[in-house]
Homo-oligomer: A and B are copies of this chain.
């Protein structure tokens, strides 16, 4: 470890460098929105879609080249830092190099063909850059890989369940002589693929009563077949899958907390060794080999270390209280236990005023009742808005009388302003900002005030001319709407006031922190599937013939030619694979599962039967795998938080570590 590579290491892992790398990855991934089937149109509906703005050939390619150069630098720095031997056994790094090489080759092909190539392979492999940059994601991937065999066994059981029921279904619902009794056979059990996909969709409950109705209408008994299938498949086997995935992730958080604690211990120990070996100057007689550290040295170093100032102060305070001016190993460790203590936020003292009026105002402003009254007023404001909304719901926008709403809102905003000023006087400027609640309130109040003033400036509302013509970029109604929406959001300030809700909400906030790795994997999966979907199904569904403006008329007349519940009748036109953004939305819709068979059916009709494979595999990855992972994560988070808040401290976690 020479000082050159140490400096490189520091520089590489500095915040700015990592941010830059993250930004580069985001830019490379975001290119998919702009590249050829460009998503820059206001709608993705083929009936109304204008021709999108296509970037000129070379623009996205230039950006991509810059990003690839940065990645090359990144991989060079990384491999220099970990050394050649480590590089050769690190699969991720080798993969990184290969991916960059492949991207560059594909990029060269694109440029040489003047952007007229059919398939850009590098779009598919781009998400790899996101994966390799996050150690958390790699860890999560490993965890998922470990779970796969057990998941496979349940999926095998599901497949067996499906096949058996399909066969029984085909035996129960054959084509009978009586045409009227053929409904079930005709619609759902006509042949093997149809029967299989009917029951597969039933497994996701997406066609639940429909698939049962023709048979159930003939005889009650047939419902038993479908209920049995759903209960075994959907309720038992699917939930068993959740249980298996959760079981793998149980202790995942605890383990990672344990690992990080052990790493910190090691780091602190190493720091201690360095500090005490470095100093024969420490003045201790070199005969007694008790290793110890001179406190002023420690304090000096502490001042240079990057850490939260609250912790730094706590540790320095503890170090100063050490008697004798020297610290031995154990005390040194104990010093850093301060890091585990929760921050107890200290609010600045209230300012002291001389004037009795100001003192009186301060008494009001810092009183707890002011918050309560503020909440009640916010509720009243929201209720006012909703009342007006309900009264006006049938009116066309231009008929609405915004005057009253404006007056009411103005009054309330004035109250909010007064509340803010009162609190500021009460707690002082710094004291006011030390509460998060106040910041939340303040930001919205200022925003509302700004909006309100701009409304006055633009429209100069008066009672005589209540509905001014549209001026400027946004209309009066839209401004008022924005004000109302801000008021509604401002109402969220009541959440911390209700205790149970505060607990749940804080769990949610914690959850989001732990969610990044999962969100990253989700992004990767969505990206890959969206690109594949665009390759396979780009432009597969043509725009309807008698299109665009006469939709409603067409709707009512052509209804009986389109089957109910089909893609065309439901007008799912904007959900297609024609550009990246709409592909994402379509994939989201399939993930949510409801009515996914409509998409599957439409693409099967417009392309081939094989497109079912794509949709089923997406359903398996997103809805079955990812949603279950998400549930496991939420369960793990909640139970961890629960245990932590009830019994376990950090030392407990450590003890459990030693026990297992």
A594 at the interface (CB under 8 A from B): yes
Is A638 an interface position by the 8 A CB rule?
yes
Report if A571 contacts B (CB, 8 A).
Answer: yes
Cross-chain contact B491 with A220 (CB below 8 angstroms): no
Partner of A220, one of B395, B488, B582: B582
Q: Mark out the residues of chain A between 485 and 523 whose CB falls within 8 Å of any chain B CB in the assembled complex.
A: 485, 488-489, 491-492, 495, 498, 500-501, 503-505, 507-508, 511
Q: Among residues 155 to 191 in chain A, which have CB atoms less than 8 Å away from a CB atom of chain B?
A: 156-157, 160, 164, 167-168, 170-172, 174-177, 179-180, 189-191
Q: Known interface pairs A213-B570, A220-B581, A565-B565. Does A382 touch B167 (Cβ–Cβ under 8 Å)?
A: yes
Q: Using CB atoms, name the residue of chain B closest to A227.
A: B588
Query: How many subunits of this chain does the assembly comprise?
Result: 2
Alpha-carbon separation in the docked complex, A595 to B208 (Å): 8
Is the beta-carbon distance between A389 and B220 smaller than 8 angstroms?
no
A589 proximal to B (CB < 8 A): yes
Contact: B217 with A43, CB < 8 Å? yes
Q: Is the CB of A585 within 8 A of B43?
A: no
Report A395-417 residues with CB < 8 Å from chain B CB: 395-398, 400
CB A157 to nearest CB in B, in angstroms, measures 5
Q: Identify whether the interface residues of A are mostly helix, strand, loop, or mixed.
A: helix
Contacts of A42 in B (CB 8 A): 219-220
Q: Are B175 and A396 in contact, with the CB atoms below 8 A?
A: yes
- Assess A208 versus B560: contact at CB under 8 Å? Given A164-B488, A485-B171: no
Q: With A167-B385, A168-B488, A559-B564 as given contacts, are A156 and B43 in contact (CB-CB < 8 Å)?
A: no
Q: Is the CB of A240 within 8 A of B397?
A: no
Q: Tell whether A45 is near chain B: CB-to-CB under 8 Å.
A: yes
| Residue of A216, A236, A598 with highest tally of chain B CB at under 10 A | A216
Expressed in whole angstroms, the Cα–Cα distance for A569 and B175 within the complex equals 24
**A500 vs B159: C-alpha distance when bound (angstroms):** 14
A556 within 8 A of B: yes
Query: What is the 8 Å Cβ interface bit string for chain A, positions 330-363, against chain B (1 contact, 0 not)?
Result: 0000000000000000000000000000000000
Interface readout for A185-207 with B: 1 if CB under 8 Å, 0 if not? Answer: 00001111000000000000111
Q: Is A614 an interface residue (CB 8 A)?
A: no
* Selected A-B contacts with CB under 8 Å, 16 pairs: A44-B216, A160-B495, A167-B385, A167-B389, A167-B488, A171-B488, A174-B397, A175-B397, A180-B552, A208-B593, A209-B592, A209-B595, A220-B574, A234-B592, A240-B508, A559-B559
